[in-house]
């Protein structure tokens, strides 16, 4: 699966947060739904313009983010 086809970043949509196919569904929202216990089928029933591949792309995107080797603290 090509994540670039499913996960987009556009400064004009969702304040530039990663979203699904340019729709106004931020990746973080779908991850929150999944982590709350909703199933993929429940999410698809509630958001009919999403596709199963979109949800799988969200999970793939999160997996890639988790592979970051080191996070530097932000100094204020």
DSSP string, 3-52: HHHHEE--TTSGGG--EETTSS-BHHHHHHHHHTT--HHHHHHH-TT--H
Specify the number of domains making up the chain. Answer: 1
Question: Rounded to whole angstroms, how far apart are CA atoms 34 and 63?
Answer: 14
Is residue 75 situated within a structural domain? no
Say if pTM beats, i.e. exceeds, 0.85: no
Write out the residue range of the structural domain in which residue 30 sits: 3-66
Is residue 73 situated within a structural domain? no
Is residue 17 situated within a structural domain? yes
Is residue 62 situated within a structural domain? yes
pLDDT for residue 17: 94
Q: What angle do CA 22, 38, 14 make, to 5 degrees?
A: 25
Q: What is the mean pLDDT of each run of 10 residues along the chain (76 residues)?
A: 88 94 96 98 97 97 87 71
CATH number at residue 15: 1.10.10.10
Is residue 76 situated within a structural domain? no
């Amino acid at each position: 699966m090509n994540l670039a086809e499913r996960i987009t970043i556009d400064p004009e949509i969702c304040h530039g947060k990663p979203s699904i196919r340019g729709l106004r569904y931020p990746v973080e929202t779908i991850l929150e739904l999944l982590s709350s216990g909703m199933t993929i089928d429940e999410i698809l029933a509630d958001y009919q313009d999403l596709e199963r591949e979109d949800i799988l792309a969200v999970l793939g995107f999160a997996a890639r983010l988790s592979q970051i080797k080191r996070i530097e603290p932000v100094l204020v």
